[in-house]
């Protein structure tokens, strides 16, 4: 299970690196667009800080997937080593659920940051609408991603088809 996780986690890390970079450019583009409206300095600083925190958190997750994959496999208790061709459907399910959770959690960081940045600017006439429509779902996605990553074995046990004798 560990070998399969190591290969797929590195591939996911490359995909997330691409997505994080694209999203970062979009968020920073929003700042340059907002500068035309001359937002107050505290709002601009808060927006930049939130975006940088989300960027660094996302890049840290990508770094863990690409560089510290062995460490992550140990933390997620995916220590069973087998040749890549010898994995079982159950182990593939656990690895898949874990990686989907990581993907969902990392992707939600940019949504949460973008919504928080939007709430800082005066053009947001209905902040409650943005919180309910974007911010809250982003937080729920982050929580769901973390649960999928940490509880992958328990989820896979419930999803696996019953064993035939």
**Higher-confidence residue: 144 or 153?**
144
Does residue 165 belong to any structural domain of this protein?
Answer: no
Does residue 104 belong to any structural domain of this protein?
Answer: yes
Q: Is residue 122's pLDDT more than 60?
A: no
- Structure-block tokens of residue 64: 């863990």
Nearest of 15, 109, 120, 21 to residue 65 by alpha carbon: 15
Does residue 151 belong to any structural domain of this protein?
Answer: yes
**% of the chain residues with pLDDT over 70:** 68
Q: Is residue 22's pLDDT more than 90?
A: no
Domain count, the chain: 1
Contact 24, 66 (CB under 8 A): no
pLDDT tens-digit readout, 55-105: 888 888 889 888 998 888 888 777 766 565 666 777 788 888 888 998 898
Confidence label for 144 from pLDDT (cuts 50, 70 and 90): very high
H or E stretch covering 108: helix 89-119
What is the extent of the structural domain holding 39? 2-159
The DSSP annotation for 34-94 comes to HHTT---HHHHHHHHHHHHHHHHHHHHHHHHHHTSHHHHHHHTT------GGG--HHHHHH
Does residue 143 belong to any structural domain of this protein?
Answer: yes
**Residue 147: predicted pLDDT:** 94
**% of the chain residues with pLDDT over 90:** 6
The terminus-to-terminus CA distance of the chain in angstroms comes to 24
| CA 157 from centre of chain | 23
**Residue 48: predicted pLDDT:** 72
Question: Angle CA(60)–CA(117)–CA(131) in degrees, nearest 5?
Answer: 105
Contact 101, 145 (CB under 8 A): yes
Residue with tokens 């973008």: 114
Average pLDDT for 20-47? 69
Question: Angle CA(85)–CA(90)–CA(91) in degrees, nearest 5?
Answer: 55
What angle do helix axes 89-119 and 136-150 make, rounded to 10 degrees?
A: 160
């Amino acid at each position: 299970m560990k070998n399969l996780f190591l290969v797929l986690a590195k591939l996911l890390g490359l995909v997330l690196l691409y997505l994080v970079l694209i999203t970062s450019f979009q968020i920073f583009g929003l700042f340059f667009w907002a500068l035309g409206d001359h937002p107050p300095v505290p709002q601009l600083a808060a927006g930049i800080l939130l975006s940088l925190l989300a960027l660094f958190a996302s890049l840290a997750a990508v770094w863990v997937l690409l560089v510290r994959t062995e460490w992550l496999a140990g933390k997620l208790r995916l220590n069973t080593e087998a040749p890549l061709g010898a994995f079982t459907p159950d182990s593939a399910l656990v690895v898949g659920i874990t990686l989907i959770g990581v993907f969902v959690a990392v992707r939600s960081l940019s949504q949460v940051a973008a919504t928080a940045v939007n709430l800082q600017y005066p053009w947001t006439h209905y902040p409650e609408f943005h919180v309910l429509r974007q911010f809250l779902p982003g937080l729920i996605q982050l929580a769901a991603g973390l649960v999928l990553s940490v509880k992958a074995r328990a989820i896979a046990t419930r999803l696996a088809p019953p064993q035939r004798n």
